[in-house]
Amino acid sequence: MHAFIRGYRMGTGSIDDLMRKVNRQFANQLSAGGDAASDAPVQVPAGIVSYQAIATGDDTIVTVTVFETEEACRRAEQGVRDIRLSLAEFQVEETHTFTGEVMLSRASEALLTPVVR
């Protein structure tokens, strides 16, 4: 498995509004039973294992996306650009990016329960 960890800063709007839009246009497609929303500007690429968006304060967010393979991680780059474009109203700026191989992974059943605020 491989992962993207990305940091973002919002220029305008609320984090709650941003997260609702991310969920509707992207993240909901990842859930079991989630729909491939017809209004979604970005279709979820194959190979995503998990996605988390974490509000870290001061209008900043960190996202963690885990992929089945390194190739799936590389293919997702276009999707990342498309998602950022679809969020232009929030003036989201990427502040840092880490990409690498997942060396250890454990999860409880709680991880399978979608969290939407």
The string of pLDDT tens digits covering residues 93-108 is 999 999 999 999 888 8
**pLDDT band at 109, cuts 50/70/90?**
confident
Could you say which DSSP state residue 113 is in?
S
Whole-number CA gyration radius for the chain: 14
pTM over cut 0.95? no
CATH number of this structure's domain 2-102, picked from the four choices 3.40.50.720, 3.30.70.100, 3.20.20.80, 3.40.30.10: 3.30.70.100
Share of the chain above pLDDT 70, in %: 89
Q: 40-73: per-residue pLDDT in tens?
A: 666 777 889 889 999 999 899 999 999 999 999 9
- In the three-class reduction of DSSP (H, G, I as helix; E, B as strand; rest coil), residue 54 is classed as strand
- 66: nearest Cα among 85, 83, 51, 45: 51
Place of tokens 């950022």: 84
Query: What are the residue ranges spanned by the domains of the chain?
Result: 2-102
